[in-house]
Amino acid sequence: MIRPADPDRPPSPLARFPVYYGWVVLGVAFATMAIGANVRVAFSLLFPPILEEYGWSRGTTAAIFSAGFLISLFFSPFAGMLIDRFGVGRIVAIGVVLSAGGLALSTGVGSVAELAATMGCMTIGGSVMFAYVTHSYFLPYWFVRRRGLAIGLAFSGVGIGAILLFPWLQGIIGADGWRRACYALALLMVGLVLPLNLLLQRRHPHDIGLEPDGDNRPGRTPRKPAPDAVVDPEWAHREWTFRTAARTGRFWWLHVSYMAGMYAWYAVLVHQTKFLVEIGVSAEAAAFALGLVGLTGVASQICIGSLSDRIGREWGWSIAYAGFTACYAILLILPHYPALWLVYAMVMVQGLIGYGASAVYPTVPAELFHSPKYGQIFGIYGATSGFGAALGPWGTGELHDLTGGYETGFVVGAAAGILSIAAMWLAAPRKVRLVAGQAQKRARKRARKLKGQAAAETGPAAAG
């Protein structure tokens, strides 16, 4: 259970840090995401050499990536509760050990089942314990007014990590093979991610005697109270549990949105490198394109996260998945018109627009179902997202093997993106709580209305 900061409890020395400690939390999250989230994405670079070495079908090999997400489904529902019980640092440490161990063990496998098991360990660690699931759970606690922006800044680490890690890994793969790349990535996690989180990361501002946004930080000038953002008081103030949330339509529409959205995201993520190589793009250029998607995603996550704080979560999500839909449209055109500028256009709409969805993703369940038992609810969304992320690569690979090409799989991916947008509007977080920008807009509108009413009432009195 999350309790408010105790005013009689002496604050932690961290509360007296020169800046709000939430920014330190954000910095550690940035570095962790730069490596952790890209560990699983690196499979798209390992995919071609593994396929070439073992001679397995595309659907079977892509299923290895999907298997890890499916295994992680059983762990995701417990992520929030485990963080509440043991703390972020310990959970991240377990995730690093699992991921690094999975990568190291994968170098000695000889069958699909063995590779699926080792890559499954990698994905459980990278997906559940120190990447999107974990950070999506605890980061919203630290920021309220600029929640979308803060999460966008933290998740932009994924893009910076991608542009640095992927060319480096591709170079190792080209020179020394995919096994050496696995060892290098494992060492990087143990050497950097592990100590940063054990020493510096914290779950909630209340743990060190602070309020969200640092409003009670010692020596800080008190802020003017934020405008009331609640639209539906009965919903917003309910003590939500998994059971009560599961009886609402919003709960399930958000599941549909996340599952379809992750299908669209990971289907293209895993298969685009192989697809680009098949249509004549060099392996190095395809790897650079994958890294560039992540780099352009830096701006997308920050801008769309901040924009969603102003115009609403539904609009931010819609803009992002319009980017993924456009990405699929370009991929369908490329075999018929393989121009390099189209490849870069695909990269731009996918990264510069689509990746902004990751900044919106954690905000919606936190704003719909905020309660002491939020950890139970959020974990289920992590499982749903993992299922969509597993289904996308596997389904696209199977459709390729059945049809002999990627066209059908890309059409399905585009349809999943459109479905995700529609389901987000039906979940309608705006009807429960307004984002900060819209709450301020409503407050100004009410103030003008009250001022107008006061003027109308005093006018006749003055005339009389």
Which residues does 259 contact at the CB level (< 8 Å), separation at least 6?
A: 384, 385, 387, 388, 391
**215-220 contacts at long range (C-beta below 8 A, 24 or more positions apart):** 216/5, 217/15, 217/20, 218/11, 218/15, 218/16
In a domain, 369, yes or no: yes
Is position 154 within any domain? yes
Confidence of residue 36 (pLDDT cuts 50, 70, 90): confident
- Residue 251, pLDDT > 80, answer yes
As a whole number, the mean pLDDT across the chain is 83
Mean pLDDT within 7-34: 80
Residue 461 has pLDDT above 60, yes or no: no
In a domain, 281, yes or no: yes
Which is higher by pLDDT, 340 or 456?
A: 340
Give 238 or 14, the one with higher predicted confidence.
238
Q: Which of 42-56, 169-183, 327-341 has the highest mean pLDDT?
A: 327-341
> Lowest mean pLDDT: which of 199-203, 243-247, 419-423, 424-428?
199-203
How high is the pLDDT of residue 246? 92
In a domain, 303, yes or no: yes
Structural domain count, the chain: 1
Task: Taking each helix axis as running N to C, give the angle between helix 132-142 and helix 88-106, from 0 to 180 degrees, rounded to the nearest 10.
Answer: 160
Give the pLDDT confidence of 128-179 residue by residue, as tens digits.
667 777 888 888 888 888 888 888 888 888 878 877 888 888 888 888 888 8
Condensed to tens digits (0 to 9), the pLDDT of residues 119-141 reads: 777 766 666 667 777 888 888 88
Q: What is the pLDDT of residue 349?
A: 94
How confident is the model at residue 423, as a pLDDT? 98
Full domain range(s) for residue 252? 17-210+227-450
Residue 223 has pLDDT above 70, yes or no: no
Q: Which residues pair with 433 in a beta bridge?
A: 230
Q: What is the pLDDT of residues 352-399, one digit of tens each?
A: 999 999 889 988 998 898 877 777 788 788 788 878 988 998 899 899
pLDDT category, 2, cuts 50, 70, 90? very low
Structure confidence by residue, pLDDT tens digits, 57-99: 766 666 666 666 666 667 777 777 788 788 888 888 888 888 8
The CB density around residue 61, as the number of other CB atoms within 10 Å, is 24
At residue 3, the pLDDT reads: 45
**pTM of the predicted model, to two decimals?**
0.76
Amino acid present at 195: P
Of 363, 371, 361, 334, residue with least CA distance to 349 = 334
CATH number at residue 344: 1.20.1250.20
In tens, the pLDDT along 407-452 reads: 999 999 999 999 999 999 999 999 999 887 888 888 888 888 878 7
Per-residue confidence (pLDDT) for residue 222, from 0 to 100: 54
In a domain, 221, yes or no: no
Residue 24 lies in a domain: yes
